Chains A and B, each alone.
Chain A
Amino acid sequence: MLAYLSLAAILFSIGMFGVITRRNVIGIMMSLELMFNAVNINFVAFNKFIVTDSLLGQIFSAFIIVVAAAEAVVGLAIVLLLYRNWQGINSDQVNVMKW
């Protein structure tokens, strides 16, 4: 169990590193997916080793997967819109809140 949780922690840190350092918005979203997955691994591991009387953890992970999918869809739509308006999708170019 410790192995699974440590794996998730390292994965989460890698994702965090990506979110902080990436310039490309799609890169940031990919790192976000990594972090979501790290959290999911935690839920499922807890479900397997500690809360074994119900499938609470797995169901929560399923919900997280669905929410992540929704987030990715909206995020990518925003990325396309950004590209259409700025001709580039780097996060440091987008520094104008109002046109």
Chain B
Amino acid sequence: MTSPQVGIVFWIIAFVMLISAFMVVSLKNIFHSALFLILCLFSVAGIYVLLQAEFLAAAQVLIYVGAVAVLMLFAIMLTNNLASKKIRQANRNVLVGFFVSVIFCFITLVLLVKTYVSVWGKLKPQAVLPAQNVLVFGKYLMTKFMLPFEVVSVLLLAALIGAIVLARKERS
């Protein structure tokens, strides 16, 4: 935290994010939980802005809210009946799942605090991130990370073709 204002904004965003994330996994109405997913992803974009990753924030909103969430809403509308809202959404593992997640969360937090105290807290960052880093980002993508970039593009193409083949109605 650099300044108190950033701290306040961070806590607000974190609160919204966790509440909406919990709504995503616990609501009965799957359409509502998809809407809360959008809210949650939007607040993640807010966190990116706080972490000086403006490009990533915009890409997050553009891809998740504009594409992934819309696709999910689409799939929900195609596969749910409007009438049957009250279906049991959770399976038998609720209790087990709850304990596993809580224990996992607890262990991770303990590890984080311990590592922070022993290692990260003593590290000093070598440099500060450049304030306007979209240009740097693009240059990295086109030089150092050229190969992964191309591989990801091919993966996207493969996913596109695969999805079309899968969802196409078989004509006979």
A residues adjacent to B (C-beta < 8 A) = 1-7, 9-18, 20-24, 26-27, 29-31, 33-34, 37, 40-41, 44-45, 47-50, 52-55, 58-59, 61-63, 65-74, 76-81, 83, 89, 91-92
Contact = CB atoms under 8 A, between A and B. Distances in A.
Given A9-B108, A62-B56, A74-B162, A14 B155 contact: no
A13 B107 CA distance: 11
Main secondary structure of the interface of A (DSSP, over half): helix
Contacts of B48: 41, 44
B90 interface: yes
B79 A17 contact: no
A52 B68 contact: no
B131 interface: no
Interface in B119-172: 120, 123, 125-129, 133, 136-137, 140-141, 145, 148, 152, 155-156, 158-160, 162-164, 166-167
Interface of B: 1, 10, 14, 17-18, 21-22, 24-25, 30, 33-34, 37, 40-41, 44, 47-48, 51-53, 55-56, 59-60, 63-64, 67-68, 71-72, 74-76, 78-79, 88-91, 93-94, 96-98, 100-102, 104-105, 108-109, 112-113, 116, 120, 123, 125-129, 133, 136-137, 140-141, 145, 148, 152, 155-156, 158-160, 162-164, 166-167
B163 A74 contact: yes
B24 A55 contact: no
* Of A23, A27, A65, A67, most B-chain CB atoms within 10 Å: A27
Contacts, number: 222
Given A23-B91, A41-B44, A14 B51 contact: no
Contacts of B133: 55, 58
Given A14-B101, A17-B101, A77-B163, A4 B75 contact: no
A21 B93 contact: yes
Contact of A89 (B79, B109, B123): B79
B78 A14 contact: no
